[in-house]
Chains A and B, each alone.
Chain A
């Protein structure tokens, strides 16, 4: 308990210090609970998610960093490895390949990398996975782009 808190404080300081280090990631700690974080990540360029800003919710277990944080998308996203309804993310480093050497920042980076490189063979979103597996790249991209426009971009006035 104390170790996780101490480490999260350190990470918080690190984030404050290097605010501009990674322009694609904004990590925000909850005002009252250091075990709840929110991240805003920009969709990587040259993907259907480009131009969108996606919100992630981090819920950090008390055994952190021995156990991985639980992360899910709060912004709707059409991606084979993200559950369309719950936003759950299927990413090995958030499950069994977690290492305590990872940080919240590096998890964000891994998620951005996952957005750019979907893994269609272990889909949480079967529609998206099937489009990719059947080789319909255009279909996948246009669907993903549509949902990016709908959910991750500001409404047109």
Chain B
């Protein structure tokens, strides 16, 4: 208490002192904010202009443009540049496909290309242009064309999407590298079978590709129409690193009715990690989890569940959730958990 008082006095004094400095700095801050706002606004405007500029020019390939404009709001001005440079916007799979098909006769339509999915990053485009598998000479020409596209991209996007997809890129690169081995083995077997059968086929360029660089084709971790390709790899890896209190025996006690996956790992109120006691603590039948500490603070304040906003006390001790509610009550009264624990242990003996 005494410490708090002293502390608050000190902070009040500090605040007074700050106020004098504060006025000038507040002005400065407002200036900064205004600048930021103007910048943002102009970006919004530019974005619109980009859309407008793109719509008459692009024609068929335009399906990608709204998607282009939306996910990466920054740097729209440069985007205008790329467009005027000859309709090669970044990461529009459709457009890359177009470039390819104008350069060479539809190598990109070979089964390997999954550009229509619009993977998005440069590395993917390169991969798939390789994977598209035209003959080696045409690879180089396609390479140069797609190279220029990706150069523009690099200039363009700077740190934006690259940064976001960084993890994903690396991951996929590794996966690709791993799968090269397998595929090359398989291709040495299957290639021999495929080639003679395919000579009668109507798409010689695609077959030529298969014959000449079997390792290049199909070196991707995911097949074109693979539905199982993880969309958001970073989050999956994050989930894998979650604390392992899911298999914990405590879950079985209080929150067994709750599906295990829906258990939050941190208290939604204070954002601290939930320990096993907390995660088995269900004070309200709406199933809203929170830590005991926050629950106590809420009981001292307005006593309403943050999830459903009903009064905690008005919650009836309903059949299924009775033990959990019991815990809540006991905690509120400062009674230790022993009773409920012995209840749940009881049946085992």
Interface residues of A (CB under 8 A from B): 3, 6-7, 10-11, 20, 23, 26, 28, 30-32, 38, 40, 42, 51, 53, 55, 63, 65-66, 97, 99-101, 153-154
Contacts and interface: CB of A to CB of B under 8 A. Distances in A.
Interface string B296-312: 01100110101101000
Given A6-B271, A100-B306, A66 B41 contact: no
Given A53-B40, A55-B33, A66-B298, A23 B73 contact: yes
Interface of B: 18, 29, 33, 36-38, 40-42, 44-45, 70, 72-73, 164, 268-272, 288, 294, 297-298, 301-302, 304, 306-307, 309
B271 A66 contact: no
A99 B40 contact: no
B288 A7 contact: no
Contact of B270 (A6, A23, A28, A63): A6
Contacts of B41: 53, 153-154
Contacts of B38: 154
A51 B271 CA distance: 35
A45 B268 CA distance: 31
Contacts of A101: 268-269, 288, 306-307
Contacts of B29: 30-31
B307 A10 contact: no
Contacts of A55: 33, 37
Contacts, number: 64
A3 B44 contact: no
A66 B36 contact: no
A154 B34 CA distance: 10
B46 to A, nearest CB: 12
Contact of B269 (A7, A31, A154): A7
Contacts of A66: 297-298, 301-302
Given A66-B301, A99-B306, A100-B298, 10 more contacts: A3-B297, A6-B271, A23-B73, A28-B36, A30-B29, A40-B33, A42-B44, A51-B44, A97-B309, A99-B307
B286 to A, nearest CB: 11
A7 B271 contact: yes
A11 B271 CA distance: 9
